[in-house]
Amino acid sequence: MQLSETVQKLKPSATIAAAAKARELKNTGVHVYEFTLGEPDFVTPEHICEAAREAIAAGHTHYTAATGIAELKQAICSRYLQDHGLEYSPSQVVVSNGAKHSIHNVLTALCGPGDEVIIPTPYWVSYSALVELTGATPVEVETTQDSGFCLSAEQFSAAITPRTRLLMLNNPCNPTGGAYPVETLEALAKVAVERDIPVLSDEIYEKLIYEGSTFRSFATFGEEVAKRTIIVSGVSKAYAMTGWRIGWTLAPADLTAAMSKLQSQETSNPCSISQYAAVAALEGSQDCVETMRQEFARRREYVLGRLRSLPDISFAEPGGAFYAFFDVSRHFGRKLGGGVQVNDASEFCTALLEQAHVALVTGDAFGAPGYVRLSFATNLSVLEAGFDRLEAFLKG
Ligand code: PMP
Ligand code: GLU
């Protein structure tokens, strides 16, 4: 069949592809140490599952309003008021099938051919692909390990052209774990207002912040900033609800109306049952979020300890999320485990999987050649065994 040019150009999600490759090897009977997908290994808290069962029993199994049920929109607004002092009205909320879908909605509503979207690298794998789907051009701006992989106001300013439609910011960041300091955010916000550039602020990891870092929502820097901010978030990471597929945007009313129209045509509504579960997540006790965060914090400490003792790698400590992102380029051209030699991060990941049965994701997927990403959303004993094997692989 003749496929569209758009879809022919589209790359599959590299994180999902890496997980599939690991699964393939697992299916042949090999024990694989899996650190690819960014998804919490915890089960969804029981009170959230119970709310879903109750929703089914109550017959909430039909279409809902395209942008979500009123209870969920209200629960989202209440949480932002309580957590960030931000006043949003339900008319500014669009609930979607996960934050990835929310990002797609924003980009489709704002961008088209000829437009430019500024994306700091390293970036989450789907950002550039979703921008390209709209026909717009991703403008990648490189951030470095020294700055904790944070975009500076100067870099943002220098990347703006008359065609710039949007800045995509991810705080804390996937894949680096970089958490933006408040002063950096404030400076970026100032540029956004002065140059009148909307900012998509992907805050899906906001609850996963570790000692020494803080989180501040981009919309909190005043009314002029809020007018230009689109918050993207969801329940996947904070509540271990990746499979339920609930994300949202908080945006100015005109953009919300545009996305609402779009969503009514492309998907009707997000799953009714998941929406009731998300209400329970947001309105119920937040203790489960803290319990999971503390467990991630323990794993992070362990991972940092192991990374510090690996030969010839470098990294910036992740302040948030559940990823370690490290530079393995000094190992290129050397003899690694099994006598294999590699020339880039993708070859490194392939060799590591084949020789040591450890699955990571190549930095190439995140616009960061030379790096690899390890998700520590898995238990300590798997991390320990995985690091033992990684260390042995590096030592050749
Ligand atoms: N943004 C970032 C930075 C992510 O890492 C992810 C996926 N892990 C998403 C958005 C999408 O999350 P979901 O679609 O599961 O809500
Ligand atoms: N976003 C997660 C990750 O980076 C899940 C996979 C995906 O949606 O790409 O691993």
CA neighbor of 251 nearest in space, from 188, 187, 203, 207: 203
Smallest CA separation from ligand 1 atom 3, residue:
174
CA of 223 to the centre of ligand 2 (A): 32
Q: Per the structure, how many domains does the chain have?
A: 2
Same domain, 139 and 22: no
Same domain, 17 and 166: no
**Tokens standing for 118?**
């500024």
User: Cis link prior to 45 (omega < 30° from 0)?
Assistant: no
**Amino acid 209: pLDDT:** 98
CA of 101 to the centre of ligand 1 (A): 9
Decide: 17 in ligand 2 pocket, CB within 6 A: no
Same domain, 188 and 254: yes
pLDDT at 20 over 90: yes
- Backbone φ and ψ of 139, nearest 5°: -110, 105
User: Please, where are the H alpha helices in the chain?
Assistant: 5-9, 14-27, 46-57, 70-84, 99-110, 126-133, 153-159, 182-194, 223-226, 253-266, 272-283, 287-308, 345-351, 380-395
Smallest CA separation from ligand 1 atom 8, residue:
38
pLDDT at 11 over 90: no
Domain edge (last residue) among 249, 283, 317? 283
Same domain, 262 and 293: no
Q: Which residues contact 334 (CB under 8 A, 6 or more apart)?
A: 341, 396
pLDDT level of residue 193 (50, 70, 90 thresholds): very high
pTM above 0.95, yes or no: yes
Q: How many helices (H) and strands (E) does the chain have?
A: 14, 13
Decide: 45 in ligand 2 pocket, CB within 6 A: no
If one counts every other C-beta atom within 10 angstroms of the C-beta of residue 284, the result is: 17
CA neighbor of 151 nearest in space, from 175, 177, 185: 185
Smallest CA separation from ligand 2 atom 1, residue:
38
Domain edge (last residue) among 283, 305, 335? 283
Of how many residues is the chain composed?
A: 396
Q: What is the CATH number of the domain that holds 195?
A: 3.40.640.10
> Per-residue pLDDT tens for 286-327?
999 999 999 999 999 999 999 999 999 999 999 999 999 999
Same domain, 244 and 268: yes
Mean pLDDT of 210-236: 98
**Tokens standing for 56?**
């089914």
CA neighbor of 366 nearest in space, from 396, 347, 346, 390: 346
Same domain, 326 and 292: yes
Same domain, 174 and 39: no
Q: Which residues contact 377 (CB under 8 A, 6 or more apart)?
A: 37, 38, 39, 40, 41, 296, 322
CB-CB contact of 304 with 317 (8 Å)? yes
Same domain, 259 and 358: no
CA of 334 to the centre of ligand 2 (A): 30
Residue-range definition of the domain harbouring residue 167: 46-283
> Per-residue pLDDT tens for 335-382?
999 999 999 999 999 999 999 999 999 999 999 999 999 999 999 999
Mean pLDDT of 205-231: 98
Mean pLDDT of 211-231: 98
**Amino acid 106: pLDDT:** 98
SS3 assignment for 193-218: HHCCCCEEEECCCCCCECCCCCCCCH
CA of 2 to the centre of ligand 1 (A): 31
Same domain, 61 and 143: yes
> Per-residue pLDDT tens for 98-143?
999 999 999 999 999 999 999 999 999 999 999 999 999 999 999 9
Decide: 37 in ligand 2 pocket, CB within 6 A: yes
Instruction: Give the span between the Cα atoms of 362 and 373, in whole angstroms.
Output: 6
Instruction: Give the span between the Cα atoms of 8 and 355, in whole angstroms.
Output: 32
User: Of all atoms in ligand 2, which is nearest to the CA of residue 13?
Assistant: 9
Same domain, 60 and 99: yes
pLDDT level of residue 4 (50, 70, 90 thresholds): very high
Instruction: Give the span between the Cα atoms of 204 and 250, in whole angstroms.
Output: 12
Average pLDDT, the chain: 97
Q: What is the CATH number of the domain that holds 304?
A: 3.90.1150.10
Smallest CA separation from ligand 2 atom 2, residue:
38
Same domain, 38 and 89: no
Domain edge (last residue) among 264, 283, 302? 283
CA dihedral over 213, 214, 218, 222, signed as positive or negative: negative
CA dihedral over 158, 147, 80, 97, signed as positive or negative: positive
Mean pLDDT of 264-268: 95
Same domain, 239 and 105: yes
